[in-house]
Amino acid sequence: MTPKHTRRNFLLASSATVIGASAGVGARGQRFKVNLVEAEQRLDPPSSPVCISSGNGLRAVERAHARILAGDDTALAVVNGVGIVEADPKDMSVGYGGLPNENGVVQLDASVMHGPTHKAGSVGAIEDIMHPAAVALKVLQTTDHVMIVGRGAYEFARVHGFKKEDLLTDKARQAWARWKQNRSNRDDWLNRDEMDWSSDGTRVGLGDQNNEPVPFTYGTIHCAAVNPKGDVSACTTTSGLSYKIPGRVGDSPIIGAGMYVDNEIGAAGATGRGEAVVQSCGAFAVTQAMAAGMEPTQACLHVLKKIVSNSTKQRRLMRENGKPSFNVIMYALRKDGVHGSAAMFPNATYTVADGQGARSLKCAVLFE
């Protein structure tokens, strides 16, 4: 094989074509091609491990980084790192203490992906198990499947020795009780005038604009790592949208939406409105933008713009000022250790651990 036809060159070239074509501008395609050459020259692994996480993941990146230095595989390290936050009742967006669904039941979603084998595992709407990311890792390691959901995921976890635990803390139960008491129309069931389509598939008339911000609590932890061999892994774990319809699965356990790894390129993840991320294949799109030569932060911003343009076709998701009524944050870690993150709105942070220690950084912003 000549260098021109290595697997990586093939991947980079094919993604450039797709993205260039979707932009529909020949001249842009040209620019991507120039960037491809630059990207190939840059993608050597970092000399020491680099781990990134969402803003709530400072302890997770510290732990993941330490585990990699101690010899752990990157997938094991990121799952171990997020385990700290899954077990922390103070974080009401992940694992134990996470806010429950409409019925007061905590249902968790998680996924993990291992770059060197390009294998993924995930669980959706799992109950009574504190560490869904570790269960997702078991799916990856011990089955030929990618995703196991609901009761099946719980039973699978029990087979692997995970303990049955009550995940609903008093604080989360009280928050749910307050929501239930005051809920009025603050739920996920669309009113007739909020629907873009009626249940029989007939287009619904415009009705009244509803520009209320989406009134729910989001929160999740994403964590990605690359080691000096250039092995990349990532995971995302969450209790999902609070007070969701029972059985609702967000973007976090969906490979390519809330998390994705391509060992030739890097990793990406998302937090925020899962429905918007799923409908734009967010994490996959970020890795493809990096493959096309964009810097990680630029790749995140590029995908956020696409998410906005796709999502705001649903008029209830748009405010009068033309901005979306929800937030999404994208995270990107390239194979060479360069990282970035971008949010739709100001004040979001992400975390990193590398040779210089663990710290929080500001996310780039789409709408200042």
Told to check if 272 binds ligand ASP by CB under 6 A, we report yes
Which of these, 226, 232, 225, 224, lies nearest to 258 by C-alpha position? Answer: 224
284, amino acid identity: F
| Annotated active-site residue in 74, 169, 220, 271 | 220
What three-state secondary structure class fits 153? helix
Told to check if 282 binds ligand ASP by CB under 6 A, we report no
Pick one of 240, 269, 282, 293: the residue that binds ligand ASP (CB under 6 A).
Answer: 240
Sole window of 7-15, 24-32, 117-125, 238-246 interacting with ligand ASP (rule: CB under 6 A): 238-246
Sole window of 60-68, 71-79, 198-206, 246-254 interacting with ligand ASP (rule: CB under 6 A): 246-254
Pick one of 49, 115, 132, 250: the residue that binds ligand ASP (CB under 6 A).
Answer: 250
Give the number of other Cβ atoms within 10 Å of residue 365's Cβ. Answer: 15
Tell me how far, at minimum, the Cβ of 338 lies from ligand ASP, in Å: 24
Tokens 């294949």: give the residue.
281
Q: Assess whether 351 carries a catalytic annotation.
A: no
Sole window of 6-14, 29-37, 247-255, 299-307 interacting with ligand ASP (rule: CB under 6 A): 247-255
Tell me how far, at minimum, the Cβ of 102 lies from ligand ASP, in Å: 14
Tokens 């892994």: give the residue.
233
The residues pairing with 50 across neighbouring beta strands, listed in sequence order, are: 226
Q: How would you classify the pairing of strands 119-126 and 108-114?
A: antiparallel
Which of these, 107, 49, 71, lies nearest to 241 by C-alpha position? Answer: 107
CA–CA distance, 20 with 23 (Å, rounded to integer): 5
Told to check if 287 binds ligand ASP by CB under 6 A, we report no
Told to check if 241 binds ligand ASP by CB under 6 A, we report yes
What three-state secondary structure class fits 124? strand
- Residues of this chain that interact with ligand ASP (CB under 6 A) are 93, 218-220, 238, 240-241, 250-252, 258, 271-272, 274
Residues acting as catalytic residues: 220
